Amino acid sequence: MNPKLAILYEFLQSLYPAPARRRGKPSTYNCPSLVLFFMVMFLKGIHSFKAMARYAHQHYAWFGWQSPPSRQTLSRRMEALPSVVYRLMPLVARAAQQAGQQSVFSFRWAFIDKSVFRSKGGLWHRKHRLLGIVPHASIDTDASWAKSAYHGWRFGYGLHLVSNEARFPLACTVTTAAQKDTTQLVPLLVHFVEYLGVVVADAGYVALHLLEQLQRCWKVFVLLPKPFTGSSLTDFQQEYNQIMLTPQARWLYRQRKPSIEPVFALIKELFQLSGEHQLPFRGLRKVKPYLMMTALTVQLMMVYNHRHRMELATTQLFLTDFK
């Protein structure tokens, strides 16, 4: 196995419990090895399953395999990645916290945001969507429209991400761009409720019933950019305003952009997704595992860098064998 991959494989393998014995043929390709395989494929810009299978045939020993997987196996296992990554990223975060510096991998507070990525193919304009007309075969009909703060209206998919103040990713998921940010707040924070005290979010996460539920049930305070306004505020809203108008709360909110925006920028740099660059896949079934793997790759790179006493966001050493 490649030495760099061996370090990461050992780390990931330590997070997986021993699989229960079951009848039938045992799994030839376990989750840690396949996670690392797809990480390498996407870093190299290899996206077709035919090319992946060809690479696996030449380098299967890199990943500790006795034989290379087929195209069908790779396709099937890639589509199963979202559930793997969804469970794995919080495990990696907690393991990194236990083994590393508390200041680097802490959960004192977290930052949540969404970045919209341009879909592959043409644009499906609203007038055609409403009529059910697909004017061109290249259009990704799973994608949807959302407004980006930096790029305006974009047609594609949203990567929802949670990071800490050291720009270390904690959890992620992927939806179509139009999916409301508030729908992903609970699924992403559920992994860390016993650790978190404050989550910093932008205006897209304003949902009074959800904020009340998080604070009442989980004791998690969601810090938003503006206080609630109006002549008849509830007791919860009044208490909320008192907290978020304190100097400490305003200071913490100012840390949001420099904490989470660079994570998205790093993902876009590593995987050539900046600006109007399109995603390499069409359809949510393929885009979701791809984008979630980009976030996991950054997380694993930072764990690797920390072990080698380097800056977390340094890419040069990590990419030496993979680009």
Supply the DSSP string of 128-144, one letter for each residue.
HHHHT----TT--TT-E
Cross-strand partners of 147: 153
Structural domain contains residue 75: yes
pLDDT at 173: 98
Tally of CB atoms within 10 A around 307: 14
The reported pLDDT for the residue numbered 23 is 62
178: which 2 tokens? 């139009």
> What total number of domains does the chain contain?
2
Pairing of strands 109-118, 152-163: antiparallel
Task: Evaluate whether 201 touches 223 at the Cβ level (below 8 Å).
Answer: yes
pLDDT band of 17, cuts 50, 70, 90: low
In a domain, 319, yes or no: no
Least confident of 9-23, 99-113, 169-183: 9-23
Alpha helices, H only, the chain: 3-15, 31-43, 49-59, 71-79, 81-99, 126-131, 185-189, 208-218, 235-244, 247-254, 256-270, 284-307
Q: Is the Cβ–Cβ distance between 56 and 37 less than 8 Å?
A: yes
pLDDT at 25 over 70: no
| Alpha-carbon gap, residue 220 to 190, rounded angstroms | 11
Higher pLDDT, 223 or 152: 223
Residues 13 and 46 in one domain: yes
Residue 303 lies in a domain: no
Angle at 319 between CA 318 and CA 323, to 5 degrees: 165
Q: Tell me: pLDDT of 3 over 90.
A: no
**Whether residue 61 sits in one domain with residue 86:** no
DSSP-assigned states of every residue in 49-87: HHHHHHHHHHHGGGGT-SSPPPHHHHHHHHHTHHHHHHH
13 CB contacts (<8 Å, ≥6 apart)?
Answer: 30, 32
- What's the whole-number mean pLDDT along residues 184-210? 92
Using CA atoms, how far residue 177 sits from 148, 154, 180, 181, in Å, is 10, 8, 8, 9
Query: Using one digit for the tens of pLDDT, what is the confidence trace for 165-182?
Result: 999 999 999 999 999 999
- Which tens digit of pLDDT belongs to each residue from 70-102? 999 999 999 999 999 999 999 999 999 888 667
Q: Could you tell me if residue 170 is inside a domain?
A: yes
Between CA 165 and CA 108 the distance in angstroms is 9
How much is the pLDDT for 112?
A: 97
CA 161 – CA 17 distance, rounded (Å): 26
Statement to judge: residues 201 and 170 lie in one domain: yes
Mean pLDDT of the chain: 91
Q: How confident is the model at residue 323 (pLDDT cuts 50, 70, 90)?
A: low
Q: What is the pLDDT of residue 262?
A: 95
In a domain, 275, yes or no: yes
Is pLDDT above 80 for 22?
no
Is residue 41 domain-shared with residue 188, that is, in the same domain?
Answer: no
Report pLDDT for 319.
84
Q: Look at residue 223 in the predicted model and tell me its pLDDT.
A: 95
pLDDT band with cut points at 50, 70 and 90 for residue 53: very high
What pLDDT is attached to residue 1?
A: 73
- The reply to whether 67 falls in a domain is yes
Segment of 40-54, 137-151, 180-194 carrying the highest mean pLDDT: 40-54
Do 168 and 259 reside in the same domain of the chain?
A: yes
Residue 198 sits in which domain range?
82-292
Is 311 contained in some domain?
A: no
The better pLDDT of the pair 309, 171 is held by: 171
Same domain, 168 and 218: yes
- 236 and 203 in one domain? yes
Residue 317 in tokens: 């050493």
Calpha distance 196→109 (Å, rounded) = 6
Question: Do 30 and 52 share a domain, yes or no?
Answer: yes
Same domain for 135 and 36: no
Domain boundary among 42, 63, 79: 79
Q: Are residues 164 and 246 in the same domain?
A: yes
pLDDT exceeds cutoff 60 at 21: no
Q: Provide φ and ψ at 113, rounded to 5°.
A: -165, 170
**Most confident listed range (11-20, 102-111, 207-216, 290-299):** 290-299
143 lies in the same domain as 247: yes
Q: Are residues 199 and 120 in the same domain?
A: yes
In a domain, 323, yes or no: no
Q: What are the phi and psi torsion angles at 321 (to 5°)?
A: -90, -5
Instruction: Express as a percent the part of the chain with pLDDT over 70.
Output: 95
Q: Comparing 275 with 34, which gets the higher pLDDT?
A: 34
Residue 227 — φ and ψ, nearest 5°?
-75, 165
